[in-house]
Amino acid sequence: MKYLPLLWRNLWRRKVRTIFTFLSIVVAFLLFGVLMAIRNSFEAGIDLAGQNRLLTIHKVSIIQQLPERYLAAIRSTPGVRVVTHLSWFGGVYQDPKQFFAQMAVDPETLLRVYPEYVLPEEQKAVWLKTRTGAIAGRKLAERYGWKIGDRIPIKPTYYRPTDGKPETYEFDLVGIYEGKTADVDETGFFFHHDYLMERIGDPGTVGWYVLEVDDPARADEIAHAIDVQFENSPDETKTTTEKALAQSFAHQIGDTGAILSAIAAIVFFVILLIAGNTMAQSIRERTSELGVLKTVGFTDATVMALVLGEAFLLVGGAGILGLVLAKLGTPVFGKLVESFLPVFYLPAGSVLVGLGIAALLGLASGGVPAFVALRLSIVDALGRR
């Protein structure tokens, strides 16, 4: 610690060089933060997915509807605690470019199966009673400036009404939910499945079922017990954990994780070169000074530690600043891509990884110059000028 002033003075010997090196490292870590936030948003839902939540979808494809009567059979399967169902409405608000997901649901069981959607009690009570009531996520409501009590017209695509009333569905916004944690999608829109059925003459179908089981360890067994019941029927089912389904959807998009990690690796490689070059240059310039230090009694190890410390100070300081900027900046970048990637934030785990990388980079960029400093003999050092 007592050498800190010395390290500090050494760093500022070449102001311009230090500043630019510092800034380029800051930007690299900022970029690392953004990349990790992107990666996290593509994989959103995988970590969030409750281990004890299973999804039952049509075996052919999730777009195929399932009979509503499966509800009772699934509910009475041993090990199942509560079942809810969702249907993709796919309607158009204002114009098709204004995309957000709308789901027809059973409100009461939905909120039990998805406790991460936090809805104030009084709003929940109103929603349960209001047939045309809908709730929206906080971010979605902010995007369109919706307030509770607003009437939201949505044009159907798949679900054309057959009741002779005007085609557009008018929903009453009765609640705005928030996510329990940052990784909950707050751009959802949910309304009564009963209302949908009433308008389209009740075909008795739902999109898919979501169920909560007592014991996650028995998930596979319960999934099998559900699917067996519908085998050899026109609508066979496929029940998987929510996590497995989220993972397979992430795979459907492609290997975004690998692409983003590759970019991050390239960025750090460049930074290693830039920082390493700066450190090497600055030690080369100061060779005779290191000789003087050794002459006045500094040990080889101390001189080496001084050089390494300088590299750590530079890379570590810049790394921390970059990560802080990334944490502050992700909400801003998130706005740009909100409609594609609703969940966009920098997870704490990635910040830790970033700190680890900063330490490694400090070591790697200071390593060679530090080794040179260690081996340097006084005669050589003072003779080189």
Partner 1 sequence: MRWLTQTLAVTTMNLRSLPQRLAASSVAVVGFACVVAVFVAVLSIAEGFRRVMERGSSPDVALVLRTGSDTEMSSGLEMDATRIVKDAPGVLRTAAGPVASAELFVVVDVPKRATGTDANVPLRGVEPAAFEVRPEIRIVEGAPFRPGRNEVIVGRAAAREFAGLEVGNRLRWGESEWEVAGIFAADESIYESEIWTDVRVLQPAYRRGTSFQSVYVRLETPDAFQRFKDALTADPRLDVEVMRENDYYAEQSRVLRSLVHTLGNLIALLMAVGATFGALNTMYSAVAARGREIATLRALGFQGTPVVVSVMAESLLLALVGGLIGGGLAWAIADGYQTATMNWQSFSQVAFSLTVTPRLLAGGIAYALAMGFLGGIFPAVGAVRTPIVAGLRHV
Site of interaction with partner 1 (CB under 8 A):
16-17, 20-21, 23-25, 27-28, 30-31, 34-35, 38, 59-64, 90, 92, 96, 99, 155-158, 160, 234-236, 238, 247-249, 251-255, 259, 263, 266-267, 269-271, 273-274, 277-278, 280-281, 333, 336-337, 340-341
CB contact at 8 A, 355 and 315: no
- Give dist(CA 246, CA 359) in Å, integer: 34
Minimum distance between the CB of residue 38 and partner 1, rounded to whole angstroms?
6
Minimum gap (Å) between residue 94 Cβ and partner 1: 12
Judge contact between 246 and 50, C-beta under 8 A: no
* Cα 46 from Cα 64, distance rounded (Å): 23
DSSP reduced 3-state for 158: coil
| Locus of tokens 């159907």 | 156
CB nearer to partner 1: pick between 172 and 235: 235
Among residues 128 and 266, whose Cβ is nearest to partner 1?
Answer: 266
Cα→Cα distances 109→64, 94, 151, 165, 332, Å:
22, 30, 24, 29, 35
Minimum CB separation of residue 226 from partner 1 in Å reads 17
Provide the sign of the torsion angle of the four alpha carbons 160, 163, 164, 166, taken in this order: negative
109 vs 330, which CB is nearer to partner 1? 330
From 188, 141, 136, select the one nearest 342 (Cα to Cα).
188
CA–CA distance, 191 with 129 (Å, rounded to integer): 12
Which C-beta is closer to partner 1: that of 80 or that of 271?
Answer: 271
- Nearer Cβ to partner 1 (254/383): 254
What is the length of the chain?
385
* Closest CB to partner 1 among residues 92, 126: 92
User: Please, what is the minimum distance in Å from the beta carbon of residue 257 to partner 1?
Assistant: 12
What is the helix, strand, coil percentage profile of the chain, to 5?
55, 15, 30
What is the smallest separation between the CB atom of 85 and partner 1, expressed in angstroms?
A: 19
Helix (H, G, I), strand (E, B) or coil at 94: coil
> Residue 79 or residue 347: which is nearer to partner 1 going by CB?
347
Q: How far is the CB of 197 from partner 1 (least distance, A)?
A: 18
Largest CA distance in the chain: 99
CB of 84 to partner 1, least distance (A): 22
- Taking alpha carbons only, the member of 34, 35, 36, 29 closest to residue 274 is 29
Residues 6+ apart with CB under 8 A from 358: 29, 315, 316, 318, 319, 320, 323
Whose Cβ is closer to partner 1: residue 93's or residue 146's?
Answer: 93
Nearer to partner 1, 168 or 181 (CB): 168
Give the nearest distance from C-beta 239 to partner 1 in angstroms: 13
**Least distance to partner 1, CB of residue 340, Å:** 5
Of the two residues 149 and 232, which places its CB atom closer to partner 1 in the complex? Answer: 232
**CB within 8 A of 91, min separation 6: which ones?**
102, 154, 155, 156, 157, 159, 169
Phi then psi for residue 120, to 5 deg, are -55, 140
Quote the least distance from Cβ 158 to partner 1, whole Å: 5
Cα 103 to its chain centre, rounded Å, is 22
